[in-house]
Structure 1
Amino acid sequence: MSTLAHTVGDSATMLRRNLKHAVRYPSLTAVVIALPVVFLLLFVYVFGGTLGNGLGGVAGGRSAYVDYVTPGILLLALAGAAQGTAISVAMDMTEGIVARFRTMSIARAAVLTGHVVGAVTQTLIGLAVVVAVALLVGFRPDAGPAQWLAAAGLLTLTAFAITWLSVALGMVPKSVESASNLPMPLMLLPFLGSGFVPTDSMPGWLAWFAGHQPFTPIMETLRGLLLAGPVDGGDALAAVAWCAGISLVGYLWARRLYDRDPSR
């Protein structure tokens, strides 16, 4: 068997392991889905009537706001999934299973690949649930098939990037409790961007930060795709560039942490 075939086979085994673990212990997946749904309902039904009337000076009310806020909620769901991934990786690293894998004839890339593909799969399922709830509360996208496909591709790319970063974050600390806290700042980024209000309504210094952080161009691109509006080419390019950069940094960081001396 070639090295590539060996790696692919071992990665598939690790993927099955992680998916079975998610099915047997669904609490993390449930929390990942529940949190963005709660925020969606809160912002739409409590704040939506007022905030929707302030979008571009048009009195659109709650129906306008649910269309505006859904891309931000989707990014919030992606950020929330990072915590579950970090916890899962930290459990493997601290409970000795990775040490056992190191003694077996398993491709070194398979363990991390299984975590990443499994986490991305869970995250996309969670996003589908969030979109379904958004549709039930009034989200009315105008996207055609090509735009839906582009939006799904961007969400998958973003999930891939955040997952690699969260895998690395899960290997940094020496305890599961610490690992659960490290991805938390990611959940602030949709709020400190264009996820819930336009950036031009913010103070100058905060608007500058919102315009230069990773999530804003991703949310703006998603908003343009899902609502069949104009998609700014600069935002789309920045979104893909941020995803590629975060993926690369997360992968290199995770590989370095995984290959370090376990005794350290």
Structure 2
Amino acid sequence: MNKSLPLFSDTIIMSKRCLTLSMRNIDTVLTSLVSPLLLLLLFVSLFGGVIEVGGISYINYIFPGVILQCVGQCAATTAIRVSNDIKQGIIDRFLTMPIKKSSILTGHVLEAMIRNLLTIITLIIVGLVIGFRPEAQIHEWLLAIGIILLFVAALSWSAVLFGILASSPEGASGFSIVAIVLPYLSSGFVPVDTMPRWLQFFAENQPMTPLIETVRALLLEKKLEMNDLLLSLIWFLSLIMLFYVLSRSAFKRKMLK
């Protein structure tokens, strides 16, 4: 029997549990769906007519950044849920069951990816209604969403680690601060060359900027810079591996000692 099958089936079960909890929690629904929509409407309404971004509509320019910012906001839910499971002792019960122990963590990550995919789809639909006009072909859409999901996976594993290390669910809720701020300090909302010189250096060398530029090029059928695409893949594949290893190690130290 393939050893990966029990892990996969256990992960599905765990992710279904997390999805059920999310759908029953009004705070999660507000964070994952309502807040991102309000954020998109706020940016377009307040800044759409006053910020010049090089000949394209402001909503087209900021849309990739809004998606990443909203995904970062949603990541706090994963950190809180992991911390809450530890505090309530439900993980101790899972550890006594005949399941793959790693599925406890991978279930949270899979649920986060599904929940964030729903958020992305909702944002795209609302964006189209209020003026977002992408020019991407189907393969460009798939590549753009695939790269964003790599970012979601990296963010979800880092949220899992933060949830394990946090002393309480309230402390875990602070995880999203970094993920929310980073898109602002990139090319997500204004061109990098309009920033102060010291901030330009940071914006050009942090992972959000090549990801945003890659997604923007794909969705608006602009020239795709392979350097941005490769940097995005290197950044987020590396972060996925790093936080996966750190999460497994922290989980073993805290729960399996």
- Indicate whether the TM-score tops 0.5: yes
Q: How does 1:168-187 map to 2 (within 5 A)?
A: 168-187=161-180
User: Aligned match of 2:250 in 223, 242, 257?
Assistant: 257
Q: How does 1:52-67 map to 2 (within 5 A)?
A: 54-56=52-54, 58=55, 64-67=57-60
CA deviation after TM superposition for structure 1 residue 153, in Å? 0.9
In structure 2, runs of 5+ residues without a counterpart are none
Q: How does 1:102-141 map to 2 (within 5 A)?
A: 102-141=95-134
**Counterpart residue number, 1:97:** 90
Amino acid in structure 2 at the alignment position of 1:138: G
**Counterpart residue number, 2:148:** 155
Q: Is the 8 A contact 1:29 1:122 kept in 2?
A: no
CA deviation after TM superposition for structure 1 residue 84, in Å? 0.8
CA deviation after TM superposition for structure 1 residue 33, in Å? 2.2
**Counterpart residue number, 1:211:** 204
Q: Which moved more, 1:30-39 or 1:222-231?
A: 30-39
Q: Is the 8 A contact 1:83 1:181 kept in 2?
A: yes
**Counterpart residue number, 1:44:** 44
In structure 1, distance between residues paired with 2:53 and 2:9: 51
**Counterpart residue number, 1:226:** 219
In structure 1, distance between residues paired with 2:183 and 2:49: 20
**Counterpart residue number, 2:63:** 70
Per-residue CA distance 1:84-105 (angstroms, 9 max, x = gap): 1111111111110011111222
In structure 2, distance between residues paired with 1:263 and 1:238: 36
In structure 2, distance between residues paired with 1:189 and 1:174: 24
In structure 2, distance between residues paired with 1:115 and 1:262: 16
Per-residue CA distance 1:189-217 (angstroms, 9 max, x = gap): 11110110000100111010001111111
Q: Which moved more, 1:126-135 or 1:25-34?
A: 25-34
In structure 1, runs of 5+ residues without a counterpart are none
- Give the direction of change, closer, same or farther, for the CA distance of 1:96–1:229 in structure 2 (3 Å limit): same
Per-residue CA distance 1:154-212 (angstroms, 9 max, x = gap): 11111111111111111111200000012311100111101100001001110100011
In structure 1, distance between residues paired with 2:30 and 2:106: 23
CA deviation after TM superposition for structure 1 residue 231, in Å? 1.0
User: Does 1:19 pair with 2:12?
Assistant: no
Amino acid in structure 2 at the alignment position of 1:69: I
In structure 2, distance between residues paired with 1:36 and 1:5: 35
Partner secondary structure for residue 193 of structure 1? coil
In structure 2, distance between residues paired with 1:140 and 1:13: 38
CA deviation after TM superposition for structure 1 residue 132, in Å? 1.0
User: Does 1:238 pair with 2:225?
Assistant: no
User: How many equivalent pairs are there?
Assistant: 257
Per-residue CA distance 1:78-132 (angstroms, 9 max, x = gap): 1111111111111111110011111222211111111111110001001111111
Partner secondary structure for residue 228 of structure 1? coil
Runs of 4 or more off by more than 3 Å in structure 1? 261-264
Amino acid in structure 2 at the alignment position of 1:188: V
Q: Which moved more, 1:25-34 or 1:188-197?
A: 25-34
Per-residue CA distance 1:197-245 (angstroms, 9 max, x = gap): 0001001110100011111110000000000101111111111111101
In structure 2, distance between residues paired with 1:247 and 1:173: 20
Amino acid in structure 2 at the alignment position of 1:104: M
Per-residue CA distance 1:43-80 (angstroms, 9 max, x = gap): 211111010xx223x4x5xxx10100101101111111
Q: Is the 8 A contact 1:29 1:84 kept in 2?
A: no
In structure 2, distance between residues paired with 1:235 and 1:263: 40
Identity %: 36
In structure 2, distance between residues paired with 1:195 and 1:257: 33
CA deviation after TM superposition for structure 1 residue 26, in Å? 4.0
